Homo-oligomer: A and B are copies of this chain.
Amino acid sequence: MADDLPLILVSNRGPVQFGLDDAGERTQQRGGGGLVTALSGLVRLLGEGVWIAAALTDEDVEVSREHGDKAFTITDQLDREYLIRMLEIEPDVQHKFYSIIANPLLWFIQHYLWDLSNVPDITGHERDAFEHGYVPVNEQFADVVAQEVEARGGRAVVMLHDYHFYLVPERVRERCPDVFLHHFVHVPWPQPDAWRTLPGWMRDPLIRGLLGNDVVAFHTERYARNFLLTCQELLDLRVDFGELTVRVGDRTVATRWYPISIDAEAFEALADSPEVRAVEKQLEQQRREFLILRVDRTDLSKNVLRGFKAFDTMLEDHPELAERVTFLALLVPSRQDVDEYIEYMDKVRRLAADVNLKHGTTDWQPIDLRFDDDFTQSMAAYKLFDALVVNPIFDGMNLVAKEGSLVNRRDGVLVLSEHAGVYEELGAFAISVHPFDIQDQADALYRALTMDPEERHARRNACARVVRENDLGKWLRMQLEDIERIRG
């Protein structure tokens, strides 16, 4: 950091993941998920700092133990050397923390996904998962963060990430009053009534925990305002919607918003790689006149079902498109240890089958549904779409919209939900859709496929320009500048 304060990064997934190859040799891979990629730009600022994450594989645990469960130096795939520390969490505790409380409980609340007349039930089971899962994992992380801060003389900038760690900041602040705590929440922050789904004994500590920070950051202004509303309404705290601050005792906590992005340059280079071009060629050979694309984790917030229903409606409304269009759905299976996700994938599969049975012919399968985690394939498909469907119910940001708009080669049109965080940046150049309005989405698909080439071109260019301008470097820079300003 600027005046040589060490940086301490905290995220559930770390920058590397250890494993074993077929010969039993240890392997080191890049950590999965978009967040790790985004945070990777902070590595050059780590200096004497450390990146703290959970040990998620057996081999992560092994490596961590070899280093006495302390921090150790790694060399990453970009040949950068820095310290990481991996926390071993008991499997049972990890299950309670991750698969009961963080997902689905908190995730569902923050995306308005609970079917409230039926679920959730907060029973002894959930209470146990909170008290013996979420709380101890947060305590474990907080204590390690505090140790690392103390080892650096008690002063550091700590950047925490996401809904896994809401209790960490308050506990770190108690032990290390001089630390600067910055917490980025990558999911939407819903309005206070959504938090009423949780009883006070769980809800209040979560919000109070987060208020241990100096800055609580979100992707959009709306989430920042919702956070202030939550503090005002549920904890009766004094907030300032002009300054975007909340008063907690004698401290002032700032909320801020920074739309996350991608590394545009690296992404464009990757899109041009031989691997991607090879897959692109295959897809190009399979394609019909029009290609509609979606790329998503199989998350309930992504609204896959209504996307297929809209496609169904479009085919009904426009029989002339029969055999001329494919809806390629590249879905990465997600959280298959959570019942709701298993059921959802099942519904997606059944609906795709129904639509194909209804409209398909001997030679034409309208929806090409692929469940796998193949980034090269996604990248290749990004280059080829005529319409990219990003229709989430609610979504913190949604990077697919940015990725696809950037590398597409056919002036493909972005069909974008009003409720995605990215809408604030790209909405003006996309065709807006309302995520619950099937007819609206069907009309939007048709409009995208039949749009005049000049307009398509202008829109696509505008999207790509915004993505290049607001790229990942800017996202990090703005946060760091604000940290300097707020500390000063």
| Residue contact B127 to A439, C-beta cutoff 8 Å | yes
- Name the B residues within 8 Å of A199 (CB-CB): 434, 436-437, 440
**Which residue of A116, A120, A122 has the most chain B CB atoms within 10 A of its CB atom?**
A116
A419 in the interface (beta carbon within 8 A): yes
Set of chain B residues within 8 Å of A198, measured between Cβ atoms? 436
Are A197 and B121 within 8 A (Cβ)? Answer: no
Stretch at the interface among A167-175, A207-215, A301-309: A301-309
Chain B residues, Cβ within 8 Å of A436: 116, 120-122, 197-199
**1/0 contact trace for A190-211 toward B, CB 8 Å?**
1111101111100000000000
B192 with A393: CB separation less than 8 A: no
In the complex, whether A115 has a CB less than 8 A from a CB of chain B is: yes
B122 to A113, Cβ gap below 8 A?
no
The residue of chain B having its C-beta at the shortest distance from the C-beta of A114 within the complex is: B115
Bound state CA distance, A282 and B190, in angstroms?
A: 50
Please provide the chain A residues from 351 to 402 with a CB less than 8 Å away from any CB of chain B in the complex. Answer: 393-394
Query: In whole angstroms, how far apart are the Cα atoms of A198 and B114 in the complex?
Result: 18
Measured CB to CB, the closest approach of chain B to A147, in angstroms, equals 35
A193→B437 CA distance, assembly (Å): 16
Q: Which residues of B contact A286 (CB under 8 A)?
A: none
Question: Is A17 among interface residues, defined by CB-CB distance under 8 A?
Answer: no
Q: Does A112 contact B (CB under 8 A)?
A: yes
A225 to B258, CA, bound (A): 28
Q: Which residues of B contact A285 (CB under 8 A)?
A: none
Residues of chain B contacted by A418 (CB below 8 angstroms): 196
Residue A72 is within 8 A (CB to CB) of chain B in the complex: no
Does the CB pair B122–A303 fall under 8 Å? no
In A119-144, which residues have CB < 8 Å from any B CB? 120-124, 127
Complex interface: chain B residues within 8 A of A440 (CB): 122, 199
Query: Is A437 touching B344 in the complex (CB atoms < 8 A)?
Result: no
Contact A305 B122 (CB under 8 A): no
* A106 vs chain B, min Cβ distance (A): 14
Shortest distance from the beta carbon of A351 to any chain B beta carbon, whole Å: 11
CB A175 to nearest CB in B, in angstroms, measures 31
The docked-state distance in angstroms from the alpha carbon of A123 to that of B442 is: 10
With A124-B439, A127-B439, A439-B123 in contact, do A117 and B301 touch (Cβ < 8 Å)? yes
Which residues of chain B are within 8 angstroms of A191 by Cβ–Cβ distance? 191-193
- Count of A interface residues, CB-CB < 8 Å: 43
A329 at the interface (CB under 8 A from B): no
A334 within 8 A of B: no
Report if A461 contacts B (CB, 8 A). Answer: no
A116 to chain B, nearest CB (A): 5
Q: Pick the contact of A116 from B113, B118, B309 — CB < 8 Å?
A: B113
Residue A330 lies at the interface, judged by CB distance under 8 Å to chain B:
no
Is B434 in contact with A122, judged by CB distance below 8 angstroms?
Answer: yes
- Residues on the B chain within 8 Å of A439, using CB: 122-124, 127
**Complex contacts, A114 vs chain B, CB 8 Å:** 115
Q: A181 interface residue, CB < 8 Å from B?
A: no
Chain B minimum-CB-distance residue to A120: B436
Q: Which residues of B contact A112 (CB under 8 A)?
A: 116, 193
Chain B residues within 8 Å of A192, by CB:
191
Measured between C-beta atoms, what is the minimum distance from A7 to chain B in Å?
35
B-chain residues with CB within 8 Å of residue A419 when the two chains form the complex: 196
B193 adjacent to A117 (CB under 8 Å): no
A313 contacts the other chain (Cβ, under 8 Å)? yes
For A127, list chain B residues within 8 Å (CB).
439
User: Given that A124-B439, A193-B112 are contacting pairs, would A117 and B305 also be in contact in the complex, using a CB cutoff of 8 Å?
Assistant: yes
Docked CA distance A124–B112 (Å): 25
A335-350 vs B, Cβ < 8 Å mask (1 yes, 0 no): 0000000001001000
Ordered by A's residue number, 18 sampled pairs between the chains whose C-beta atoms are within 8 Å are: A112-B116, A116-B436, A117-B305, A117-B393, A120-B436, A121-B438, A122-B436, A122-B438, A123-B313, A123-B439, A124-B439, A191-B191, A196-B419, A199-B436, A199-B437, A199-B440, A200-B434, A229-B229
Q: What are the 8 closest A-B residue pairs judged by CB atoms, nearest first? A: A115-B115, A117-B300, A199-B434, A191-B191, A122-B437, A199-B437, A123-B438, A122-B436
Partner-B contacts on A (CB < 8 A): 112-118, 120-124, 127, 190-194, 196-200, 229, 300-301, 303, 305-306, 309, 313, 344, 347, 393-394, 418-419, 434, 436-440
